[in-house]
Amino acid sequence: MKLLRLSFIPTSIDFSLLLLRLWLGLSMLLLHGWGKLLGFSANYANFPDPLGIGSKASLALVVFSEFACSALLIVGFLTRFAALSLSITMGVAFFIQHRSVLAGEGNGELAFIYLAGFITLFFAGSGKFAFEKD
């Protein structure tokens, strides 16, 4: 039974938070933020405007969150601020843009999963393997 509980693996909340920060931060930055940053001038006119603030402003906020805040998350600096910004971005994406749809065409499942991770980091903080100390 001890083998099934995997109790031989050391427990480290701080290492787990580092892993979560790196996993979510790198994937958000590289798979979403980087492309939006590079294609900003070509794509802002067609970018969705779910909050009614204009497509350019919407894209600028998303780039700030998905690129800059992801970088902050990766290094563990201003982690709770970065996680809050990313949570808001993913919340808008899931609840407004994707209308809370989890399955089927145009679903927001990925935004929903990211949202869970970012909310977790918002409440847990960066852990000890970070530039800031909670």
The pTM (predicted TM-score) of the whole model is 0.90
- Distance, CA of 35 to CA of 63 (rounded, Å): 9
Q: Which residues of the chain have pLDDT under 50?
A: none
CA-to-CA separations, 45 to 1, 31, 49, 87, in angstroms, rounded: 59, 21, 10, 24
Q: Domain spans of the chain? A: 26-124
